[in-house]
Structure 1
Amino acid sequence: MSGGIGGVSWQTFNRLPPEDQQAIRDSVARQEAAQNEPAAPASAPGAETPPALKPAEAKTPEQAVASINGLPLPKTDDLNGMPSPVYQSVYQPRVTQFTTTRREEAQAALDRFEPKWEDYRDSGLNGATASYEYGEARDAFNDNPYVKELKRIVGEATDKPTEVPAYLRNDPSTKTNPEAVTNLPIDTARTALKNFGVELPPNPTPQQIAAGYELLGAMPQDLLAYAINPGTQVTYNAPLGGIGTPSFIPVRAEAGFSFEGKVELSDVQTGVDFQETQQFKTSVQLQSEAGVDVGKTPLNKLYRAATLLRQVSPEAKELIEGSPLLKNVVKGLPISGHYTEFEGTRLSYEATVTTQQGTKLAGGDMSGMPNPLDPLNMPTGTSVLMRGQDLQGSDFAVNYKAFTLAGNHTELDGAGFGVRKLEGSVVEVYAGPIQTVENATFFGLGRAGTAAIGLSVDTSMENRSLSTARIDLATPEGQQAYQNFMNGGRVPDWNPPGVQRSGTSEVLNAEHATRLGIDLGPLSWQAGGNSQLTITRNVWQDGTIDQQNTYTSADGMTSDVQFQVGRDGKPIDSKTEWKIVLSDFNPILTSYLNAAYRPDQVNKDFDGEQHVQLEFTSAELMELRDRSRAHVGSVGGKEHLADLDSGRVTPWNTNVAEHLAVAKTPDEVFAVLSNDFHTSQIPEDLLAMVFEQGNRAVPGTIRLKDAG
């Protein structure tokens, strides 16, 4: 921009107030003073830092990516003090020029490194060989992860020419000041990390200490504020003060603050491939509350005591109870209860642990928690998920005589990040928005949470929209990518060396718990069960999709379906896996199932309960359907089979073979087998089919493990 001052045209400058004009003059003066300062003395020979590589000088796509990402960001230090409109009028063209340069340099690198047909045509090779070599070179070029990143930079700069990418800005607005974190004493930092579910070893190395401080520096300020309070325990619920109307009024308004902590360790769960895990959950919640309370007042209680002691005359009692106003004030309302609305913040830590780790945690040994600062020592299958969420909701209770109806509804919205250990040296990292809805209902006798007997139902629904990547920690590049994730929460969004796959994950997790029990203060006895549904859909950068649907019923049956979708958008049937796990299964029913799959072991008995896993391909499920149709036609007659097909007759509830016979797809066959209502009948019906069809084993595979 010419004909002006400090990048601002004279026309704009003359319209500004005097104070803004002076701010621009001061900025120009500071810039000129900096240019007139003497140059710093040269460093001693041997200590000089080599100049940064320019994009045009890059010899490989990797060097080109590094040099483009290292381009100086648009300058802002000469704009301090300028009014916002002027600031933007100068800064925005700089951003556009910056993104244009990134796009042009990335495209120039692609054009420069792309294999040229002329080089192969004129190389002296015959035509067919030259064409083959050229095709191989182009395939290798297109599969190069740094070439893919150069193409992504071109697309990014084209689509968003007025924005500096966030991963280049390193925007600190949502992070804790790293310098402030490094000033924390090591004991305070250790406590803060522990509250986030990360425990430093007793004698940490300097690298582990530095990684711990870097992790704290990446935390949002509001969450870190709760974590660095030494001595805070997460095992109690305490009010932090509040206000309210006088206690002698039957209907009272109240407001206050409370701090709540929870620690939970689930029972051992046997999942797919007989993996035994437990869920460890801890959360810290700070909330403000406002509501209304209806109940007995001190005057009500005094009147009742005086009546029992015959201190109130019959005339006075008749007068009081004959007046609606006096009756409610002195005798009390016929019901009591409360309604409260609240909002606040919750920090939660959730880990999937092995039974050995669960034993440590049950004994108060926090070294049993998976440690994301030491991911290679996390057992395969274990994981950590940390959430920071804002919450709002309501809570109510209605008490009439001995009966109580109570409920709680909570909505949470925020973000989370975590790590899951896969086979070998591979870890999966994920981060992104998380939304949760929780509901709890109680109906029974007594008062919920104090002394009560009744039925409670708890449900939760959570949606996670995550960026995800699988990183190989056996490579230096993978170690650096993981360190970048731990430092700044950035999940790799492409696949350079060390990153096996990257993409997005949509996770739906739903839980339902029903319990019938007795509560006596801190002591409780409960009977019931939990069911859980988890649907995970991974959309990878190469266009393929992996999906896993897992459902665990209250009686311990787990059904698991895993399938893949190719780049063409079509499911790959050969990659679909169907599994059913029956944990702690009856030994007699186990012997029937075993004989159905292994007719030569028809007399094999089992001592004690067993874990059973049934595995199918899509073709095997349809073969089982055909075998069931033949069995039903043979036993019940072809007319009966025709009636079932037409819908004139519906399958008998306990006749699994009939349900299988009318199934149309692998999904419908699997739905019959994974229906926990059929669990005890399936072994008998499958074995009957085997006997009727000449001792032919049923399709599929069976695996067994002693539950003891």
Structure 2
Amino acid sequence: MNMPAIDGGGGPVYQPQTQPSTYKVGYNETVAEIADKFGITPQALREANPQLFSDKARRDEARMIGQTDPIFHGDDLNIPAAPQSVTHDPMSSPYKATHGAPTSEYSAGNANGNITWNPGAGSVKLTGKLEHTPAGQDGNKVQFKVKAEGELAMSIANKNGNTEIQVTGAEVTLLNAKGGVGGKNAIEGEASSGEGFRARYKVILPGENQNPATAATINPFDPTTIPKGATVIMDGQDYQQTELAGSFRHIGFETKIKDGEGVSYSVTKVDDTHVQVMSGPNKAFEAFNGAGLRFDKGSVMLGRQDNLGESNVRTATFDLANPDGQAAYAHFNATGEVAHQTPGVSDVASIERFDFSSQGRLQAKIKPFGSAEFKADIALNSPNTGTFTQTTYPDGSVALTSQVKYGDNVPLNLTQRFDAQGTEILSERTYEFTVNTGGANGANVAKMLNWAASGGASQDGAIHANQTVKLTFTEAQMSALNRQADKAGDTLGGMSQPSLMAHDYDGNSVSNYQFSVSMARNLNQNDYGFAKGLFEISDGADGNIAKRNYERIDMDVKTS
């Protein structure tokens, strides 16, 4: 029997296996418990043992003693191999289909072009414009123009311990119509429609503050030029752009929409001889809708920016020290196809990624004199964002990661595993919250988290100020926390945070998934509020707030 054991004083700890194995049933063990040990579904376990589960006499015996399944102490069970979604780590795609940054940017220029600075993204963008007005429009109430715009942006920023260098370019040709009735500033309207192309080239170098000149030496199709640990991402999109704006005595509105699709490609130098490549189609939809004031010298619009992005890539890792791996790499770059069991090839999968974001924006345009123009696109708050990544393995099983963040709240990362039949393996579900203990309240955040994790034993523990803390819950641990919050809600009152998270609007208990999303959405909009929420659950879960008997919250804690 293939049975990795960890010496923890409580007997062997079983782990999911890539090959079939066997297992001897212990006292009072259930099918669900055994399936959980090996990362498979109860149904898969039943199907692997028809000699036991199809035996009518055994089923009758089980019913007589009140058991659901006909397994007994000492039975030998066939354990099927766990799905690849369980035995392989979920993959992630570095590609995000939408353009634009969730931070404020400012620009200045004239009718021929402008320069834009985005301090949050560390980018500078140059824009050039050409306008042509067809002849014969004198006296017309509606004026037509053809506008050609081109832009080039570059950014260098430290992110997640890496240095990111990005160059972005775009061009669009627009047919613009403008007109008005009723005299100056009465009713005015402007609309444009056009087509364009945009492209990005990004290099991610391991380590912060890397020399950006390194990016210029990289040929993404020649792995020998890519530093170990570096990633190169390229994408191009054809897009359609429409804009509509109007006003009635200065009260105005604006709508800007871009709808594009194209192809993405990325390559990562895993080590000296291996590269991981991803390639496939992408789509993006970006829309700003606002209302405000339009006047002779410009406009001020308050609105919302919504972005949706989707990509679907094939990925594989190639061993370039292997001639078969070299041939497969060349074939993949030419066709985007690779076979699962090709020599020199590993980690073959399909990765679908879907992104969304929504954010309040204030867009201002001022023309103080002549053709001079100043613009500001200001982020009013942190965006609500979500990223959903589905990895489909060659055996048909699926790993799904869902990352959601509500404004400045603590982000939630939910990981789920499914077999080839689409049945979730609940024992492999995990919920991860990332908490930052930096800033003025960082020390208090750390103390409350330590207090909850120890059940009131100490405010000093593994968590300290100025750390990134990952709190991970299994399905069983999240279920226990859900019950603790339910009890704490009864103790603290119906309008307390624990009660609001653990119940729906009708007062019914919520599922573990709904509870986890509520934790990410409702705990006071910051790291301090999240830690305080766990502290309150720990405090009230025993049913008596006056005793100050704290209950330990069971979770895995990792700090960096």
TM-score scaled by length of structure 2? 0.63
Q: 1:523 to 1:516 in 2, by over 3 A?
A: closer
- State yes or no: 1:594 paired with 2:450: yes
1:168-207 correspondence runs (5 A): none
Give the match for residue 286 of structure 1: 171
Matches within 5 A, 1:629-668: 629-633=486-490, 635=491, 651-652=494-495, 654-657=496-499, 659-660=501-502, 663-668=509-514
Of residues 349, 353, 372 in structure 2, which corresponds to 1:507? 353
Q: CA deviation at 1:447?
A: 6.9
- State the alpha-carbon separation in 1 of the partners of residues 511 and 500 from structure 2: 15
2:362 aligned with 1:516: yes
Does the 8 Å contact 2:246/2:254 carry over to 1? yes
Partner of 2:151: 261
**Distance in 2 of aligned mates of 1:579 and 1:429:** 28
Q: 3-state SS of the aligned residue for 1:485?
A: helix
- 1:472-531 Cα shifts (integer Å, max 9, x gaps): 456454344334434x25331333122213232222122323223655545647343233
Q: Which of 475, 479, 492 is residue 618 of structure 1 equivalent to? A: 475
Q: Which structure 2 residues correspond to residues 24-43 of structure 1 after superposition, within 5 A? A: none
Q: SS of the residue aligned with 2:396?
A: coil
Per the alignment, residue 140 of structure 2 pairs with 249
CA 1:527 to 1:509, structure 2 compared with 1: closer, same or farther past 3 Å?
closer
User: 1:402-421 to 2 correspondence within 5 Å?
Assistant: 402-420=250-268
Select 1:386's aligned residue among 215, 221, 234. 234
CA contact (8 A) 2:310 2:353 kept: yes
The alpha-carbon deviation at position 337 of structure 1 amounts to 3.5
1:492 aligned to which of 313, 316, 338: 338
The structure-2 alpha-carbon separation of the partners of 1:244 and 1:426, relative to structure 1 and needing over 3 Å to count, comes to: farther
Q: What's 2:73 paired with?
A: none
Quickly say closer, same or farther: Cα 1:440–1:406, change in 2 above 3 A.
same
Residue number in structure 1 paired with 2:433: 580
Shift of residue 293, structure 1, vs aligned partner: 0.9
Secondary structure of the structure 2 residue equivalent to 1:243: coil
Q: Which moved more, 1:533-542 or 1:275-284?
A: 275-284
What do the CA deviations read for 1:310-359 (whole angstroms, capped 9, x no partner)? xxxxxxxxxxxxxxxxx95xx546233410111233333356666726x7
Whether 1:698 and 2:540 are equivalent positions in the alignment is no
Percent identity over paired residues: 15
Deviation at 1:461, TM superposition (A): 1.3
Instruction: Give 1:698 shift.
Output: 0.4
Deviations along 1:119-168, one digit per CA (max 9) or x if unpaired, are: xxxxxxxxxxxxxxxxxxxxxxxxxxxxxxxxxxxxxxxxxxxxxxxxxx
CA shift in 2, pair 1:435/1:376, >3 Å: same
How many residues are matched?
A: 414
Displacement of 1:544 after TM fit?
Answer: 1.9
The CA deviation string for residues 247-272 of structure 1, in whole angstroms up to 9 with x for no partner, is 54332123x25132242649766xxx
Relative to structure 1, is the Cα distance of residues 333 and 401 closer, same or farther in structure 2, using a 3 angstrom cutoff? Answer: closer
Counterpart residue identity of residue 261, structure 2:
D
In structure 2, the partner of 1:303 is none
Shift, 1:439, TM fit: 0.9
SS in 2 for 1:612: strand
After superposition, the Cα gap between the structure-2 partners of 1:604 and 1:468, relative to the gap in structure 1 and judged at 3 Å, is closer
Amino acid at match of 1:701: D
The residue aligned with 1:84 is none
Does residue 538 of the first structure (1) align with residue 391 of the second (2)? yes
Partners of 1:513 and 1:398 lie apart in 2 by 23
CA contact (8 A) 2:388 2:403 kept: yes
| Residues 447, 421 of structure 1: alpha-carbon distance in 2 compared, 3 angstrom cutoff | farther
Checking the alignment, whether the CA contact within 8 Å between 2:406 and 2:520 is kept in structure 1 is: no
The 1:286/1:453 distance shift into structure 2, 3 A limit, reads closer
Decide which of 311, 318, 328 is 1:481's aligned counterpart. 328
Shift of the alpha carbon at 1:378? Answer: 5.0
Structure 2 residues without counterparts, runs of 5 or longer: 1-123, 367-372, 543-548
Is 1:338 matched up with 2:196?
A: no
Q: Does 1:459 align with 2:306?
A: yes
Q: Distance in 2 between matches of 1:479 and 1:444?
A: 58
* CA positional deviation for 1:370: 9.5
Q: Cα deviation per residue 1:529-560 (whole Å; 9 max; x = unaligned)?
A: 23332211121212221221122333263221
Letter in 2 for 1:561: L
The one-letter amino acid paired with 1:349 is Y
Given that 1:539 and 1:545 are in contact with CA atoms closer than 8 Å, whether structure 2 keeps it comes out as: yes
Q: Cα distance, 1:579 vs. partner?
A: 0.9
Contact 1:510 1:533 in 2 (8 A): yes
Residues 362-394 of structure 1: CA deviation (Å, up to 9, x unaligned): xx98559895644785565x6444333322231
Measured in 2, the distance between the counterparts of 1:370 and 1:629 equals 57
Cross-structure match for 1:236: 127
**Greater helix percent: which structure?**
1
Deviation per residue, 1:631-675 (Å, 9 max, x gap)? 345x26xxx8xxxxxxxxxx52x5225523654433123112222
Alignment counterpart, residue 566 of structure 1, candidates 411, 415, 419: 419
Q: Within 1, Cα distance between the matches of 2:522 and 2:161?
A: 20
Alpha-carbon contact 1:244-1:252 (below 8 Å) kept: no
Q: Tell me the SS of whatever aligns to 1:674.
A: helix
Does the C-alpha gap of structure 1 residues 466 and 250 become closer, same or farther in structure 2, counting only changes over 3 Å?
same
Structure 1 residues 351 and 618 mapped into 2: Cα distance closer, same or farther (>3 Å)? farther
**Per-residue CA distance 1:224-252 (angstroms, 9 max, x = gap):** xxxxxxxxx97313226463653543321
The one-letter amino acid of 2:194's match is F
Provide closer, same or farther for how the CA distance between residues 360 and 522 of structure 1 changes in structure 2, counting only shifts above 3 A: farther
Distance, in Å, in 2 between the alignment partners of 1:333 and 1:453 is 15
Kept in 2, the 8 Å contact 1:285–1:346? The answer is yes
Mapped contact 2:166–2:203 kept (Cα < 8 A)? yes
Partners of 2:518 and 2:272 in 1: how far apart? 36
Counterpart in 1 of 2:378?
Answer: 526
Distance 2:512 2:321 in 1: 40
Given that residues 250 and 333 in structure 1 are in contact (C-alpha distance below 8 angstroms), is that contact kept between their aligned partners in structure 2?
A: no
Deviations 1:84-116 (A, max 9, x none): xxxxxxxxxxxxxxxxxxxxxxxxxxxxxxxxx
Q: 1:695 to 1:398 in 2, by over 3 A?
A: same
Does the CA contact (< 8 Å) of 1:501 and 1:541 recur in 2? no
Relative to 1, partners in 2 of residues 1:463 and 1:603: Cα closer, same or farther, differing over 3 Å?
A: closer
Q: 1:577 to 1:378 in 2, by over 3 A?
A: farther
Residues 607, 389 of structure 1: CA spacing in aligned structure 2 closer, same or farther, 3 A cutoff? closer
Kindly indicate whether the alpha-carbon contact (under 8 Å) linking 1:236 and 1:260 is maintained by their aligned counterparts in 2: yes
Instruction: Tell me which amino acid in the other structure corresponds to 1:553.
Output: Y
Structure 1 residues 472 and 391: alpha-carbon distance in aligned structure 2, compared to 1, 3 A threshold: same
Matched residue of 1:668: which SS? helix
The separation in 2 between residues aligned to 1:265 and 1:447, in whole angstroms, is: 34
Q: What letter is aligned with 1:591? A: K
State the 1:695 CA deviation.
4.0
Q: Which runs of 5+ in 1 are unaligned?
A: 1-232, 270-274, 296-326, 641-650
Q: Cα 1:517–1:263, aligned 2, differ >3 Å: closer, same or farther? A: same
CA distance in 1, matches of 2:523, 2:218: 37
SS in structure 1 opposite 2:411?
strand
Alpha-carbon distance in structure 2 between the residues aligned to 1:368 and 1:673: 46
Are the structure 2 counterparts of residues 685 and 401 from structure 1 closer, same or farther at C-alpha, using a change threshold of 3 Å? Answer: same
In structure 2, C-alpha distance between the alignment counterparts of 1:406 and 1:278, rounded to whole Å: 36
- Quickly say closer, same or farther: Cα 1:242–1:283, change in 2 above 3 A: farther
Cα RMSD (Å) of the superposition?
Answer: 3.9
